[in-house]
Structure 1
Amino acid sequence: MGAIENLSRKSGVIVGDDVLRLFQYAQEKGFAIPAINVTSSSTVVACLEAARDLKSPIVLQVSQGGAAYFAGKGVSNDGQKASIAGGIAAAHYIRSVAPAYGVPVILHTDHCAKKLLPWLDGLLDEDERYFKLHGEPLFSSHMIDLSEEPVDYNIETTAAYLKRAAPMKQWLEMEIGITGGEEDGVNNEDVDNNSLYTQPEDILAIHNALAAISPYFSIAAGFGNVHGVYKPGNVKLHPELLKKHQAYVKENTGSSKDKPVFFVFHGGSGSSKEEYKEAIGYGVVKVNLDTDMQYAYMSGIRDYVLNKKDYLLTMVGNPDGEDKPNKKFFDPRVWVREGEKTMIKRVQVALEDFNTAGQL
């Protein structure tokens, strides 16, 4: 019996109790679900194809910048209009095609810092409209990142957003403890190292505040995580801190669960397989990957252009003859597909590394 037996919706975008059941099953079976930032229909289908072929669930997420890109770089983003429109467009596209791949998909938005809250507000407006029509929100879940703000403000504001999401049974992911480095919309390259490690007291305070509202939440705790990619050894991860956090929450809440908290691993690109496995063992159910995937996608297109350069310089004329047409080489469906192929392979590596493969 696999994860899919626990879900009321077997394929396509899942919401509410299905998301909760999937994360519970992941903790029970010791796997985490890769969460891949998507920026186009092409990156979406690459992720879905990888998940389908390895019989795995997947999280597809859009960042504020990625959502704006979906709307088009030529559209003004004043007032987050492009990011809101692009996020909605991405969600409808994913909802339309995901069932064809036969796997459950969690549709998520990535980091939303304080300055980006109008983007989240706009998406929640659309979630509520969609809920009135369909009985479920447009997005499975959202992520609010107030880790740069004072802890009290972070908890109070996150709780307010969870209260808004709770009637829709919508998941909310929050962050406490800063993830270093740089990612779309967030730059924490110069933070003090002590800020990279979340304290157990903060985890307990968050858990108590949010659990009183809804069970649909997860915590991205800092244990030395860094966004981007760095040379091996330059990033000092301490996933054992997550074990201590779980024990602290269990002890102070009287929970019967050894892992009462759903943790999320941010800054996952460039980490070792052993680090992933250790973190998953301590209750991580979702691992964010972006930088690795961007490079994988680009590498397929790069290699194609380098290998076929003599067929891409003109519309007609190549080493096979001066009158030979080159359309079949410069057709975007050809070279974009090469990027999809290399991204598919990289997503599948993640599915294997996180023990997600075959879990359906």
Structure 2
Amino acid sequence: MNATDSVHSLVPSSTAVRAAHAIRDGVLSEVRKAVVGQDEALELMLCGLIAGGHILLEGVPGVAKTLMAKALSRGIGADFKRIQFTPDLMPADILGTSVFDLKSQAFVLVRGPIFTDLLLADEINRAPAKTQSALLEAMQERGVSLEGRHMALSPLFTVFATQNPVESEGTYPLPEAQLDRFLLKIEVGYPAPEEEDAILASVHRGFDAGDLARAGVGPAVTKDGILAARAALNEVNVEPPVLAYIRKLVAATRASGRIRLGAGPRASVHLLLASKALAALRGRSFVTPDDVRFLAGPVLKHRLLLSPDAELDGATPSEVLREVVQSVEVPR
């Protein structure tokens, strides 16, 4: 236990924060009926949802990215829609369009799949920039401009986007402006050997990833409960030294000679919100430096562009960010 924890361990959590912690246990318990392992990724997904941000899931095919998003949506009783991004996908396929109704002899607005609570943008980097940009306004403002009208989206609206890190043929790298809209980038890796054994045993017993109702995955909380958990973040305290630590970490990415483009102020805000959400989900009414360090990678690494020298050295954003984090003094 560090000094911050010892000082604050005597501070009781608020009722709202305890409710957020109960949501974490309940939702993850439901999701684990379908998903084996990936505990850190699942906690980060729920953290991003409570913080009100959008999440980019990166991993090779077959590591349960889609399954995790579908199971999480069932665990919170949310509406869920999926868009398979392809090179010929058009913005109207996401937002919707007006069609002529023969019965009424008038144009009728048909809403696209973006009008939902949780939207899975599967293989988002397979669509061209014009189509990807259709998500920008929705991700930033939770609303879209359609047929000359501004239409609000669900207050719970969250994008879970997936992409393959190794396949480049037929893909369009996400522009920096869109990457910056994602609160977290979560790397989803292979399961451990014992976890893969459990997956095989589950399938052998009849588990079907396409039938989560049969697996018993159900809502552990209502959508209003998730919105209440978001409101609980206002009750999570952040001491001035921890606020300064967040600023210094983000500023250090701009000062590093191995980084060509560092993280901006939006990254500072996202790191603060994610840290508060993580603290609430873990049952604490205060943020510790350990929360910030734990989230620095998922919040910051997708916003960095390495210098040519760092790229020639074969460095990765994760490695360079680790060096930056280690260079910033941790508050005591």
TM-score category (smaller protein): under 0.3
TM-score, normalised to structure 1, is: 0.25
Which structure exhibits the higher relative contact order, with contacts defined as CA atoms closer than 8 Å and separated by 6 or more residues? 2
TM-score, normalised to structure 2, is: 0.26
